[in-house]
Amino acid sequence: MTDMIHITCPACQAKNRIPAAKLGAKPSCGACKAALFPDAPFELDEAGLNRHLKTDELPLLVDFWAPWCGPCRAMAPMFAQASREMAPAVRFAKLDTEQHQAVGSRFQIRGIPLIILFDHGREVARQAGAMNAGQITGWVRQHLKA
């Protein structure tokens, strides 16, 4: 029997079941046909984050940032590069803490940029401060092994 993985579509939030063996084949959403693993980190709002944490069976790395934050803007291309290197094993998303302040409070965010790694809906690790792509991928691999 083929292992099925549940993944939430970053575009329409529909729940998808994908055979684990086909994750690397650039699967698309059954509802809206959008890529389930886009070429860049996808934007989340609070409802989207809740949905991904509730249903996704793959690790999710979220960059909590704000448009006025210089280090956040500087880290954005590095985060995107790390996303391309780690897909489809890890999904990468961004959440604007300026627009979604309740999320910042809920996760007790004291400084940005802040990345939080979630696995099966629970927080695994967090790291504040800008990092380059190699540091991001190394940090994720280190915490997923634990």
Give me the active site residues, please.
Answer: 69, 72
Q: Fill in the DSSP letter of residue 41.
A: P
Angstrom CA distances, 34 to 16, 57, 101, 127, stand at: 11, 19, 28, 30
Which of 6, 137, 141 lies closest to 80 in space, CA to CA? 137
- Residue in the block written with tokens 């959008």: 34
